[in-house]
Amino acid sequence: MPILRSRQRGISLTGLIVALALLGVIGLLAMRILPAYTEYRAVTNAIVKAKAAGSTPQEVRASFDRSAEANYITSIAGRDLTVERVNGEQEVSFAYDRKIHLVGPASLLLEYSGSTARNAPAARAE
C-alpha cells in the first residue's frame, strides 16, 4: 500500500511574523505621516481663503493666521508666506519642511510647498 503524502499549503509561522512586522512598520509610518499631510492640506486651503479675504499682503497674512489658529496649523505662520503680484494678480505661496521622528536616530523629512498660482495645482481648494 503506497503512502500518500499531501503537500501542505499556507503561510508558515516565520512568514506570518515577517508579514505582521512589515504591516506594523507601514502602520507606524502612516500614523506619523497622516497628521502632517492633513496639516498640509489645511495650509493649502487656508492660503486660498486668505488670498480671497485680503487685498494687501498684511491682510492676507492676518487672514491666514486666523485660519491657522482655527485649523490647528503649527508648522507655518502668516509671516512665512510669500505674497506677490504676478501679471496683476496677487499670488500667495509657501514652503516648509516637517521633520518626523520615527525611532532612535531615524527620522523622516517631508518638504511641502504650494501656491495659489494657476500653474501650481497643489494649492487649489476642494
pLDDT tens, position by position, 45-64: 999 999 999 889 999 999 99
Looking at residue 123, what is its pLDDT?
44
Note the pLDDT of residue 1: 61
Cα separation, 109 vs 111, whole angstroms? 7
For the full predicted model, state whether its pTM sits above 0.85: no
**pLDDT tens profile 62-114:** 999 999 999 999 999 999 999 998 888 899 999 999 999 988 999 999 999 99
Amino acid at 103: V
Selected residue with higher pLDDT from 80 and 10: 80
Q: Cell 486660498 appears where?
A: 48
Q: Which amino acid is at 112?
A: Y
d(CA 123, CA 29): 24
Answer with the residue of higher pLDDT: 125 or 112.
Answer: 112
Whether pLDDT at 36 is above 60: yes
Residue type at 63? S
d(CA 46, CA 68): 7
Whole-angstrom distance, CA of residue 68 vs CA of residue 9:
55
